[in-house]
Amino acid sequence: MPGFDLFYQKDFSIPAGIGIFEVHHFYIRNLPTQMQEYLLQNNVQESAIKKVLTTKSSLDGVFGDADYSFIDQVSVRAFDEDDPNNFLEIAYRQPVPLTPGNSLPLIPSLADSKKFFKASRVSLDVALNIRKTTVEETETRLSLQLRAGYE
């Protein structure tokens, strides 16, 4: 199936002192999808898009000194701003390796996220289960690569 790639990067900060007894959510709201620009560049009609799948994703240290060994599980979810319970996991990692270093590759899900990325804006939730209390602030970059397939 022919298609084109969609690329997104967004920085956020994981604070020091968060504990292990709850899931921590980092919301990236109203991220421009630029879908109309991608469609124009590739000379494709929106109605021709059949699916949008995650092909690559990672959490990376912005300054090169991040240590993600405190993370036990990661779930990246696209969600509906009007109904946050309407979400779709687009990438994950569980369990996270004990020594992931400065870059934590995530596993793309097989879920079709077209309904979220065909809009002009998308909201994302990076949900973290951690294995030990964070001792320093970690500047993090979420990188996403998706593939829009069309006929």
pLDDT tier for residue 30 given thresholds of 50, 70 and 90: very high
Q: For position 103, which CATH number holds?
A: 2.60.120
Q: For 94-116, what is the mean pLDDT?
A: 95
Q: What is the DSSP letter of 47?
A: G
Work out how many domains the chain is built from and give that number.
1
Measured between alpha carbons, how far is residue 113 from residues 42, 102, 151 in Å? 19, 28, 17
Q: Is the pLDDT of residue 91 over 90?
A: yes
pLDDT tier for residue 81 given thresholds of 50, 70 and 90: confident
| β 103-108/49-61 pair status | antiparallel
Q: For 81-85, what is the mean pLDDT?
A: 85
Q: How many CA atoms lie within 13 A of 87 on its CB side?
A: 17
Structural domain including 125 reads 3-150
Q: For 73-94, what is the mean pLDDT?
A: 94
**What's the whole-number average pLDDT of the chain?**
95
Q: For 49-67, what is the mean pLDDT?
A: 94
